[in-house]
Structure 1
Amino acid sequence: MTIKVKYFGQIAEVTGIQEEFVKFSGVTIMELVAKLSQKYPDLEKKSFQMAQNKELVSLDSKLTGDEIAFLPPFAGG
């Protein structure tokens, strides 16, 4: 499947881009993160949350083939 991956804030700084389309045959978001960490090794040094279709999800969530976003930690309350 092809997944639209969006990067925000510090994560976009690490990747050097704000979004890309990734061909991926894995099942979970964790597998996708592992693949992208190989491409962008500095991702492993960053804290982030994941959103799928604009809803926060855990790393063990299944991919739906839609949009995934890497969200940096947010300050404030």
Structure 2
Amino acid sequence: MDITIKYFGAVAEQAGTSTEFLTLSQAEIELDDFKALCFKKYNITNMGSVKTAINRELKETGYIKSGDEVAFLPPFAGG
């Protein structure tokens, strides 16, 4: 499966990239497992505070399939 990954803010700084394309052998992957896989690759340690969007919709759980776009967003602050 092919996935587009977008990193924003401090997460992009830690990853050293803002966009990445990843190919995995399985048909789908659980969001927490995918997040752990990506964060381990770049030694991103604040996994709990990073929000995730799948196809531009904020998600806390779910599955990622081929063709999905996953975005990792830094913590938000209101104001």
TM class by smaller structure: 0.7 to 0.9
Match of 1:29 in 2: 31
Structure 2 unpaired stretches of 5+: none
Give me the TM-score of the superposition, normalised by structure 2: 0.83
1:17-56 superposed matches below 5 A: 17-24=17-24, 25=26, 26-41=28-43, 43-46=44-47, 47-56=49-58
Gaps of 5+ in 1: none
In the alignment, which of 61, 72, 75 is matched to residue 73 of structure 1? 75
TM-score by length of 1: 0.85
Q: What corresponds to 1:9 in structure 2?
A: 9
Q: Identity over the aligned pairs, expressed in percent?
A: 40
Q: CA RMSD in A?
A: 1.5
